[in-house]
Structure 1
């Protein structure tokens, strides 16, 4: 699949060259240097010359390049490159040119371990650190003690988790984090509204527990089947479904699961069943474009009085329940470039004119549900000989809102099963944030 992996610095110097197949020649490093690094017009991360394809990503001050000759899975190649960056960070702290030069021997060792004849293998950091360390070669006794663990990781099903994990207190924390995006017209019509969500879990559970996760009342699939990442161990590709899943009255699209999720059970029982990695990981990623619950409604009136004055009237109302409250609510209202001064009045919070950004910044530390606050402002403009019409860019809103989801997604249950039958404590938290939340006026 991958014929070779190359590292370059910004000057085009080849730092790492590791070939896995005979069709990857050293002269290819010169081709990439000339065609990509020296060519400022190149913007695409994929360059195909004849039968050779260069897939590259830039991180810090280095280029990571995968060379392929066959019709390879491009998504899998880039997933591998980003996993390689994550692996480098975990070993070296900061993965840059200096780290590559100081640890090139270890990098070659890692490449030989995670790629077998160009096919991605196990890229899990915890597993690799069991027998590849930055301190040097392990003692013979440690090698014997770890041999059974290495064998299990190499031949078993759980490359992402060790079997000897132990905790005094068994806990699982689940965070449902959503970024809501909105573009509303001046007339109040929603032009675009969608939610980008993720379910992040922190599992501090002993042994190898099996967790079952339920969303809303039911979970259905419409269309094709979810697909597993295409590699031998499943350690690089994550489980993905390009179909649409409906959770009760909630419609989720582009669902993407962590590799630990058993997609067979998801298909038959509509239950997310998995053996979690130890610590923090992203269980699921999704999008929602239907029935989006907008946490805030903003109504803005802007009047231009001649060429010397602009009047603002901005009202913002919270659409969520009275028991909830948002924090760090910031409304940025754009002003003309020739603004000389601003006078503001607010019913809540503080407003300040930021000349360097051409914005009135209105900050409300705590916004209780079902409340409505108003900002009134007068902008004084300077006269200009060649004055252009004001483009009126949209105002934007940022906020954080706990225990609320714009998609309507709810965690119905989280069950933990382990052979020792220990009791565990589960915590669920919801967080909605502003992605691109813009209102035209």
Structure 2
């Protein structure tokens, strides 16, 4: 199944490799590097890359590419899920999943990978089992291992591996029993210049931190469970209870884990928390242009927008930007042609504005492609879908634990598209405008012409530069 695994930094440094069968040359990653160069953002690298003799299935987590090498037919989502488990295990063991942390704990990393896969097939992917097999690193344990020459590998078989609930170890005891849940939602949306929603959906997860003694049986209920669509649960959840009663009943793993993920695709249920007024124009005569952007809150349910960042992908002919911001700071990179406006915490009493002039290459043709504004934001104590936890019941134990729920809304792929560049001049005004019958750009599920192993990662398909007067929009592929 999985023959090899390569870890590659965002800068292109291949800093770790693991082979479960025959050794595969690093040169196979050249196909991945070619795909990385073509992608605008790291998240846009195709999840499945076909080579003459292999398939490269990859994910991007914490500025690291996890690239697996496959030689036989295999469901891509199966491998993608395993790679996410690897990243989450590193996060659980070391506190963070970064290049520096992995290099500092390279011995434990290899031990974990050896236990997680057996001859290329997933074997033990639950953190509770792995922590009994391979003890997490501590400063004291590292010093003892250095002096005595011992390792972190356990000497006994984990108790959970032989039980019907392998995700929870036996004999768990805590002085303070507590259970906390984080409801984290990301908005993926595309809006036109007038603020009309072209495409919108919500990706949500519920992360849990459960530290309860014994073997508790929990039941989590929601005030409006019908909002949830396309749910994916941790193996501990009893799916029949969800189907019949719309409650989540489970015996939790010990510690941190992701209880469930969900998807809300009903566009009318997706509230857009921010609006953008923009005017980016270029003069037909001369080598200059104007930029004027204003950002404000829209549907935030009284909550404050935080960590607000606006990113503008400028045309290649823009050399510099002389702007002034009423709030936050801006930076224009003349190499990547990206303007970043870091607003921070939004003050609704005084809306932030960024305006000024743009300098273009002398004699270069005026840009005609569509600009796009990417929005990054965070809203504390708000689930933008309206999802709310009703109660958490504990059965099987006599204690009363501390319980808490936190809500966070973030921006995923959140874009504002201008329908045209306005070019001012003494003779004419040229503008690119989409036809009235234009449909919203869809999310592609597979790349055309790719047999068998088709890329199953989800990404928003962008528009190609088009001539003035019309546009072509892709219909969704249904698989």
| Structure 1 portions without partners, runs of 5+ | 19-25, 220-246
Relative to 1, partners in 2 of residues 1:62 and 1:326: Cα closer, same or farther, differing over 3 Å? closer
Match of 1:431 among 400, 408, 414: 408
Q: CA deviation at 1:257?
A: 0.9
- Secondary structure in 2 matching 1:373: coil
Once the 2 structures are TM-superposed, how far is the Cα of residue 33 of structure 1 from its aligned partner?
Answer: 4.6
Tell me the CA shift for residue 261 of structure 1: 0.8
Aligned mates of 1:138, 1:90 — CA distance in 2: 16
Unaligned runs of 5+ in 2: 9-13, 36-45, 137-144, 419-479
When the two structures are superposed, what TM-score results if normalisation uses the length of structure 2? 0.64
Deviations 1:75-107 (A, max 9, x none): 33453455456657877985579947x987x57
Contact 2:59-2:80 at 8 Å conserved across structures? no
Q: Distance in 1 between matches of 2:243 and 2:65?
A: 43
Of 182, 193, 208 in structure 1, the residue corresponding to residue 215 of structure 2 is 208
Contact 2:292 / 2:356 at 8 angstroms: preserved in 1? no
Does the Cα contact within 8 Å between 2:49 and 2:56 map onto a contact in 1? yes
Query: Aligned ranges for residues 69-80 of structure 1 at < 5 Å?
Result: 73-80=75-82
Query: Residue 62 of structure 1 contacts residue 96 of structure 1 at CA under 8 Å; is this kept in 2?
Result: no
d(CA) in 1 for partners of 2:66 and 2:382?
41
Equivalent residue for 1:344?
324
Q: 1:272 aligns with which of 237, 248, 252?
A: 248
Residue aligning to 1:126: 128
Deviations 1:25-65 (A, max 9, x none): x6xx5xx659945767798456797xxx8676599799654
Preserved CA contact (<8 Å) 1:176 1:429? yes
1:415 aligns with 2:393: yes
Q: Is the 8 Å Cα contact of residues 303 and 380 (structure 2) preserved in structure 1?
A: yes
2:200 and 2:85 mapped to 1: Cα distance?
Answer: 31
Relative to structure 1, is the Cα distance of residues 264 and 320 closer, same or farther in structure 2, using a 3 angstrom cutoff? same
Measured in 2, the distance between the counterparts of 1:62 and 1:435 equals 21
Q: Does 1:298 align with 2:303?
A: no
Supply the distance in 1 between the matched residues of 2:50 and 2:320 (Cα, whole angstroms): 48
When you count strand as a share of all residues, which structure comes out higher? 1
C-alpha separation between the residues in 2 aligned to 1:303 and 1:363? 22
TM-score (norm 1): 0.69
Choose which of 183, 198, 203 in structure 2 pairs with 1:191.
198
Question: Which residues of 2 match residues 171-186 of structure 1 at below 5 A?
Answer: 171-186=178-193
Q: 2:160 aligns with which of 133, 149, 153?
A: 153
What is the CA deviation profile of residues 195-240 of structure 1, one whole-angstrom value per residue up to 9, with x for unaligned ones?
A: 11111111122222111111223x3xxxxxxxxxxxxxxxxxxxxx
Match of 1:389 in 2: 367
Structure 2 counterparts to residues 263-412 of structure 1, below 5 A: 263-290=239-266, 291-308=269-286, 309-320=288-299, 323-333=302-312, 337-344=317-324, 346=326, 349-352=327-330, 354-356=332-334, 358=337, 361-368=340-347, 373-375=351-353, 377-381=355-359, 384-412=362-390
Does the CA-based 8 Å contact 2:57-2:76 persist in structure 1? Answer: no
Instruction: Point out the structure with max Rg over C-alpha.
Output: 1
Separation (CA, whole Å) in 2 of partners of 1:107 and 1:363: 39
Query: What SS class does the counterpart of residue 266 from structure 1 fall into?
Result: helix
Distance 1:61 1:304 in 2: 39
> Partner residue of 1:22?
none
Aligned alpha-carbon RMSD (Å): 4.2
Q: Is the alpha carbon distance of 1:384 and 1:57 closer, same or farther for their aligned partners in structure 2, counting shifts above 3 Å?
A: closer
Q: Displacement, 1:288?
A: 1.5
1:144-176, Cα deviation, whole Å (9 max, x unpaired): xx67xx4x4233222111232222222222111
Look up the SS of the partner of 2:240 in the other structure. Answer: helix
Report the Cα offset of residue 431 of structure 1: 0.8
2:275–2:298 contact (8 Å) kept in structure 1: yes
Partner secondary structure for residue 130 of structure 1: helix
Please give the alpha-carbon distance, in whole angstroms, between the structure 2 residues aligned to 1:360 and 1:79.
Answer: 34
Q: 1:173 to 1:82 in 2, by over 3 A?
A: closer
Q: Counterpart of 2:42?
A: none
Structure 1 residues 97 and 74: alpha-carbon distance in aligned structure 2, compared to 1, 3 A threshold: farther
